[in-house]
A and B are shown apart, each in its own frame.
Chain A
Amino acid sequence: MMASLWQYVLAGLVSGAIYALVAAGFVLIYQVTGIINFAQGEYVMIGAMTAASLASAGMAPVEAGALGIVAAAVVGGLSYLLAIRPARSRGATGVTLIFITLGLDVALRGLGLIIWGTNPLSLSAFSGGSSISIFGGVIQPQALWVLGADMVVFALLYIFFQRTYAGTAVRAAVASPAIASTFGIPLRTFAFWSFVAAAAIGGLGGVVIAPITSATYDMGLTFGLAGFVAAVLGGLESLPGALVGGFVLGIAEKVSGGLVSTGWEQGVGFIILVLVLLLRPQGLLGRAVRQA
């Protein structure tokens, strides 16, 4: 019993790591632009499908993966330039922009269907070797790539926000956009780059998870919803929150799926989401909304 529970936790860590990456994308874009980008999961799909199709055409997995990330980043940038910016310059706000991102999500999934069809594509693991045993539980070597990608992304985000001037300027812009612009801080440039960065991070998630789950045109829906739940769990404004939220959700899914029934795996995230919204709407690590 304990052994299998530990195995579920390990499996949960791996999917949780991807949820954390998608959640980080939600948080980045929400912080900088105030938009909840429901197309976030599709960048995972674009990264995974691009990498898998290039690899099946003969490219080495790591190179194919790098191009997958680039493809996702480009689509992310185009998402902003073609969908968000024109709408915003015509005065769209709030709910309108959320619906635009929902439309974007459907459009990108449709694009995936047109380009790659319905058949799942596989990507070989980045490194060979047999399964690794950790305290009696077993993980595949590729899982280390997944967890490593998480660590690298969150470390880079931390360094960017805390140690660079560009990061300080972004934090200032997030805290008070109206004032930041009186310094000449270019908010629209930041908005563009937040989409590029969020999409690249999502694409990386897709690339590293593809060898484990394989890649399909509709994988973005699952990852997008899970990433959204993880982001809300973490408070939607907190990158550490996104990390914690991702792992909490991933582990909760696998443990409930393993101990109760696999049918629970899909639903447990939403039960957690409802509970969090009822009991702790600021999220696990979020701050309560301050009265101005």
Chain B
Amino acid sequence: MSAALAVREITMRFGGVVALEDVSFDAEPGRVLGVMGPNGAGKTTLFNVISGVQKPTRGSVTLGATQLTGRDVAWIAGHGVTRTFQTPMMFWGLDVRESIAAALATREFGGIFPPGALRSLVPSGFGWARRRAADAALRERADELLVTMGIGAIAARPTESLSFGEERFLELARALAIEPQMLLLDEPLSGLNPDEVEIVLQTIVRARENGIGVLLVEHAVGELLSVADRVVVLDHGRKIAEGTAREVAADPIVIDAYIGDELG
């Protein structure tokens, strides 16, 4: 059921600047693929291309037999590939549980055409038994996701009032709510304390156990290597290495790129 994400010969130019050049790799379901590289290596551009935020100059991205290149973000998300951002962004005006419900409901009622779209217009709280049952199920699922992230206690809090770590947890719970096949995490550990880092790492491991493919961009190289099954290393928009965490960590080209970055 789950399909592999195939990135083929992606090139992305902005005017004269080449952000990605001829990058190819596969991301398997139920595996964590780490994406490493110094600043400006093209990691975020790569995520933007896969998730549909930017269209590549050349190349293709497919999930199984489904061509994703050229589609918009919402379509790609509807077909199982979603992402998070470096800075977690909240739905201001919604509380924590509603934020999850918005994601769940999109999955449940996502179709543009009836009956899904029509059912999403049925108001709650009017004593309609089937609607009440659907509400309860969604609510339960939302709370379950919050509890697994360790933030079950804040379900009713407005999103404006969350700490940075809580925002990060909510963002992950929200992304998992749509049950993606492929989850792109852009620096999910940045800005977190060690306890929070541990929770996010456990979440990544759990997602992998549930068959979700994870693409992980992370500056904390130690943590990245600890959860990644395989690692792709980018430098100046090119793929300079790919292999297991152990292979990549020992690769002189990779070490060179990182040291070069630190000196330069």
Given contacts A169-B106, A183-B82, contact A164 B122 (CB under 8 A): yes
Q: Are B78 and A180 in contact (CB under 8 A)?
A: no
Number of interface residues of A (CB under 8 A): 25
**Contact mask for chain B residues 80-91; partner A; CB cutoff 8 A; 1 contact, 0 none:** 001111000111
Number of A-B contacts (CB under 8 A): 103
Q: Are B121 and A168 in contact (CB under 8 A)?
A: no
Q: Are B120 and A185 in contact (CB under 8 A)?
A: no
Contacts of B94 in A (CB 8 A): 168, 171-172, 175
Can you give 22 contacting A-B residue pairs, CB < 8 Å? A159-B123, A160-B123, A164-B120, A164-B121, A165-B102, A166-B121, A168-B101, A168-B102, A171-B94, A172-B91, A175-B91, A176-B89, A176-B91, A182-B84, A183-B178, A184-B75, A184-B107, A184-B178, A185-B102, A186-B74, A186-B110, A290-B92
- Quick one: which of A165, A174, A189 contacts B101, CB cutoff 8 A? A165
Separation in Å of the A291 CB from the closest CB of chain B? 12
Task: Tell me if B197 counts as interface (CB < 8 A to partner A).
Answer: no
Task: Tell me if B72 counts as interface (CB < 8 A to partner A).
Answer: yes
Q: Which residues of B contact A (CB under 8 A)?
A: 51, 53, 72-75, 77-78, 82-85, 89-94, 98-99, 101-103, 105-110, 112, 117, 120-125, 138, 174-175, 177-178
Separation in Å of the B110 CB from the closest CB of chain A? 6
Q: Are A160 and B121 in contact (CB under 8 A)?
A: yes
Cα–Cα, bound, A169→B89 (Å):
15
Cα–Cα, bound, A285→B125 (Å):
27
Cα–Cα, bound, A285→B218 (Å):
42
Cα–Cα, bound, A41→B102 (Å):
32
Known: A165-B105, A172-B91, A181-B77. 5 other contacts (CB 8 A): A160-B121, A171-B94, A176-B91, A182-B83, A184-B110
Task: Tell me if A163 counts as interface (CB < 8 A to partner B).
Answer: yes
Determine which residue in A165, A174, A179 has the highest number of CB atoms from chain B within 10 A of its CB, and name it. Answer: A165
Separation in Å of the B218 CB from the closest CB of chain A? 19
